[in-house]
Every structure is written in C-alpha cells, then in structure tokens.
C-alpha cells in the first residue's frame, strides 16, 4: 500500500516537473520567436531608403511661380522642425516659391498671430508643421478659408486620425510606425528583456498612436517586456521638466534599461539625466526623427539609435504635396518619407557633424527633380 502511494506520488511529481519544463520551454520559444520577428523588422529598416513618386510628373515651377508659403512650427526651438523649414526655404528657392518661417515660442496666441499675418499679407499657403493643433486655431482657419489662404498640416496627424475639416489638406505620417519600430528595437537589442521609461507630450495628437505602437510591439513580440513609467511633459516645459523627471524615474525604477524620448529633440534633456544618475552604461536611449544634433549624439556614444527621416526629403515631400493640390492634382495619402535606422554602424554617413540631407542617398533628390520636370 505504501509502495503504491509512493509510486503515485512519483508519477505525480514527474508529471508536474514535465509540465513545468514544457511551460519554460514554451516561454523560451515564445521569447525567441518574438526576438526573431523584431530582428526582421529592424533589418528591413537598415536598407537604404528608396524614392517613390507621389503621383504623376508635373511642372512644379509653373505652379509655384509668384506663390508664397508661411511655415508655422509648434515652437521654433524644436531643432527637427527648424531643420525641415530651413530645407523648405532652400527648396522654395529652387522652384520659385517664397517660403518663410513664423518664429514663435510655442504659445497658441503666436500661432494665431501667424495665421492672421498670412491673411493680412495675402500669403498663398500656411503650413502648420508638426505640432500646431488645428483645433486650437479653428476661428483663424475659417478666416483664412474665407480669405482664400490655403492652410495645410504636415507631419502632424497619424493616418489613423481624421484631419480637421477646415484644412485645405494634410500630409500625415505613421507615428504608430515609429513607435512600432522603437518597441521592436528594444526587443531586438535586449533579446526580449526590455523595460522602458517613455517620455512623451500628450498635448500633441500624434503622441497617442506613437506610444500605442510601442505597447503593441511589446504585446505582440515580447509580452514580458514592460513600459515601467510614462512621463508626460508639455512642449513648452521640455527644458525645465524632462531632466528632473527622468532622473527621478531612473531612481524609482532601477530595472529600467531604456529611456525612450519619443521625439528626438527631447534627448538633449534626457542625456544629462542619465549621466547624472550614473546609468549611462546600463540605460540606453532610442528615439525618432533623425535630427542632426541627435545623430551627433549617436556618434559620441550618448544615444544608441534614432529613426531617421531626411529633413530635406520631408521638406521636398511637403512642398510637393501642397503644389500638387494647387495644380489640381490629387494630394498623396501621406508624406511618403521612408524611415531609416541610424546607429553607431552607419551614423557617420550622415556627416561629421551630421547634416539634414546626408545619409539617405542621393536618388530621392534626382527623383523629385524628375517628377517636377526640372531636368
């Protein structure tokens, strides 16, 4: 009888051990499969980007002749947007479009003043670029529409988000795709053991799909990876609140191995926070936009990865979309600028110091000129 009980206990114990082993192996397989998927996604974005025309070729110089455009960024201190507008001004000179920036410090009343200036001075196009929320300036949008001033947004909405109906048109960007890449980068680099602090600005509508992309990457390819804290900082407070907030989070969440400033101009405040907490070896930074000073940070070992968008390419695609609308042609469904991953292995291709139009090849410039019948 006792022997029978012992045999039963041994059988039960063996069964439990086998079950536990199977569970561990299944989890290991799940992790390795997720890492493999993440790796494939990352490798696909290491390939040099390829230019694809947004539509039929047309004479852009004939459309642009005598026209003017005022670009209003969410704040002139944002170096990513500053870089795009600088290239818009240069591209404008190539095609005969007079482009100016409306300098501002991120205050909505300054955006209002910019649109009112465009109306008073009969400027043809207003470009609300990445961060100026049309919902905040709707009365001015209506006034501009009544006055014949065409107001567009670029690099602001995710394709999943409907554009404001008072706009003449919009050129969305897959912010979700940026988040998806950021999440998969962390999975790839940590082999399925990522624990991230995310720095964001909820006041900007594209933040929501971008952060969702990170969450979805973890959910689909690394369920045990976590976002240990999300830090929300208003755009005008980046310079005062990001650094102390990140320092506090790094102390409170000692298992964090990544800080993700979702817009790369935030990194100038994240880098010193990591340095001051003595965690520069244990905690890495991955981000998105490809702003030149952040690419320099990669070369200097302060940032691990940046999802690059050629600022010159963004400028050309933005102007191309607007000119197509003025020419009576269909606007593209999105801005159409491909993402390209920069890390220590390729960042020097962007120049030393980095430049906004280097590292992405030259084919796109030739492609735009052919599309614009400038050859």
Tokens of 309: 């968008």
DSSP track, 224-256: T-EEEEEEE--GGGHHHHHHHHHHHHHHH-TT-
Tokens of 336: 């159409």
pLDDT tens, residue order, the chain (375 aa): 556 666 655 556 555 555 555 454 455 567 899 999 999 999 999 998 999 999 999 999 999 999 999 999 999 999 999 999 999 999 999 999 999 999 999 999 999 999 999 999 999 999 999 889 999 999 999 999 999 999 999 999 999 999 999 999 999 999 999 999 999 999 999 999 999 999 999 999 999 999 999 999 999 999 999 999 999 999 999 999 999 999 999 999 999 999 999 999 999 999 999 999 999 999 999 999 999 999 999 999 999 999 999 999 999 999 999 999 999 999 999 999 999 999 999 999 999 999 988 999 989 999 999 999 997
- Based on the fold, state whether residues 194 and 297 are members of the same structural domain: yes
CA dist 188 and 42 (Å) reads 8
- Based on the fold, state whether residues 161 and 194 are members of the same structural domain: no
**Tell me, what DSSP letter sits at residue 162?**
P
- Based on the fold, state whether residues 238 and 136 are members of the same structural domain: no
Q: What is the pTM of this model?
A: 0.88
- Based on the fold, state whether residues 242 and 327 are members of the same structural domain: no
- Count up the domains in the chain and report the number: 2
**166 is a domain residue:** yes
Largest CA distance in the chain: 102
Question: Cβ(49)–Cβ(338) under 8 Å?
Answer: yes
- Based on the fold, state whether residues 271 and 326 are members of the same structural domain: no
Return the SS3 of 276: helix
Question: Cβ(174)–Cβ(155) under 8 Å?
Answer: no
Quote the pLDDT of residue 356: 82
Quote the pLDDT of residue 5: 62
CA dist 84 and 156 (Å) reads 13
- Based on the fold, state whether residues 163 and 211 are members of the same structural domain: no
Tokens of 302: 């302060």
CA dist 19 and 168 (Å) reads 61
- Based on the fold, state whether residues 109 and 159 are members of the same structural domain: yes
Strands 125-129 and 258-261: unpaired
**C-alpha 334: how far from its chain's center?**
14
Sheet holding 284-289, edge to edge: 226-232, 195-200, 258-261, 284-289, 305-308, 340-342
- Based on the fold, state whether residues 281 and 321 are members of the same structural domain: no
CA dist 92 and 235 (Å) reads 28
- Based on the fold, state whether residues 291 and 324 are members of the same structural domain: no
- Based on the fold, state whether residues 134 and 252 are members of the same structural domain: no
* Residues making up the chain, counted from first to last: 375
**343 is a domain residue:** no
Q: What crossing angle do the helices spanning 238-252 and 267-276 adopt, rounded to 10°?
A: 40
**96 is a domain residue:** yes
Q: Which helix (H) or strand (E) holds 258?
A: strand 258-261
Quote the pLDDT of residue 12: 60
**328 is a domain residue:** yes
**342 is a domain residue:** no
**229 is a domain residue:** yes
- The beta strand positions in 98-202, using DSSP E, are 98-101, 125-129, 150-154, 169-171, 195-200
**105 is a domain residue:** yes
- Based on the fold, state whether residues 297 and 316 are members of the same structural domain: no
CA dist 143 and 321 (Å) reads 23
Range 123-152 burial, b when 16+ CB lie within 10 A, else e:
bbbbbbbbbbbbeebeebbebbeeeebbbb
Question: Cβ(356)–Cβ(83) under 8 Å?
Answer: yes
Residue-number span of the structural domain to which 327 is assigned: 60-172+312-337
- Based on the fold, state whether residues 186 and 294 are members of the same structural domain: yes
Last residue of a domain, one of 265, 288, 308: 308
**353 is a domain residue:** no
| CATH code, 218 | 3.40.50.2300
CA dist 250 and 157 (Å) reads 31
């Amino acid at each position: 009888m006792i022997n029978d009980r012992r045999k039963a206990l041994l059988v039960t114990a063996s069964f439990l051990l086998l079950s536990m082993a199977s569970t561990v192996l299944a989890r290991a397989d799940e992790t390795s499969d997720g890492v493999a998927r993440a790796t494939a996604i990352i490798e696909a974005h290491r390939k040099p980007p390829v230019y694809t025309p947004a539509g039929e070729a047309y004479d852009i110089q004939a459309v642009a002749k005598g026209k003017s455009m005022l670009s209003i960024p969410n704040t002139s201190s944002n170096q990513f947007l500053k870089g795009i507008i600088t290239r818009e001004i240069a591209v404008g000179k190539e095609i005969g479009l007079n482009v100016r920036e409306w300098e501002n410090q991120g205050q909505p009343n300054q955006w209002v003043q910019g649109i009112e200036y465009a109306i008073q001075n009969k400027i043809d196009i207003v470009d609300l670029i990445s961060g100026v929320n049309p919902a905040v300036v709707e009365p001015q949008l209506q006034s501009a529409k009544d006055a014949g001033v065409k107001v567009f947004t670029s690099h602001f909405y995710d394709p999943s988000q409907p554009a404001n109906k008072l706009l003449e048109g919009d050129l969305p960007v897959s912010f979700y795709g940026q988040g998806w890449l950021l999440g998969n980068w962390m999975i790839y680099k940590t082999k399925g053991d990522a624990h991230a602090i995310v720095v964001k600005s909820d006041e900007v509508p594209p933040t929501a799909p971008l952060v969702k992309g990170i969450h979805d990457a973890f959910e689909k390819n690394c369920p045990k990876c976590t976002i240990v804290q999300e830090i929300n900082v208003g755009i005008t407070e980046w310079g005062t609140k990001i650094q102390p907030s990140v320092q506090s989070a790094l102390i409170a969440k000692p298992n964090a191995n990544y800080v993700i400033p979702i817009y790369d101009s935030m990194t100038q405040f994240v880098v010193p926070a990591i340095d001051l907490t003595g965690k520069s070896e244990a905690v890495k930074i991955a981000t998105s936009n490809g702003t030149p000073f952040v690419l320099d940070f990669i070369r200097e070992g302060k940032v691990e990865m940046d999802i690059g968008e050629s600022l010159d390419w963004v400028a050309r695609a933005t102007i191309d979309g607007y000119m197509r609308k003025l020419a009576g042609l269909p606007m593209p469904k999105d801005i159409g600028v491909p993402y390209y991953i920069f890390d220590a292995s390729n960042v020097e291709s962007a120049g030393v110091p980095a430049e906004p139009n280097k590292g992405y090849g030259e084919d796109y410039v030739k492609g735009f000129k052919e599309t614009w019948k400038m050859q």
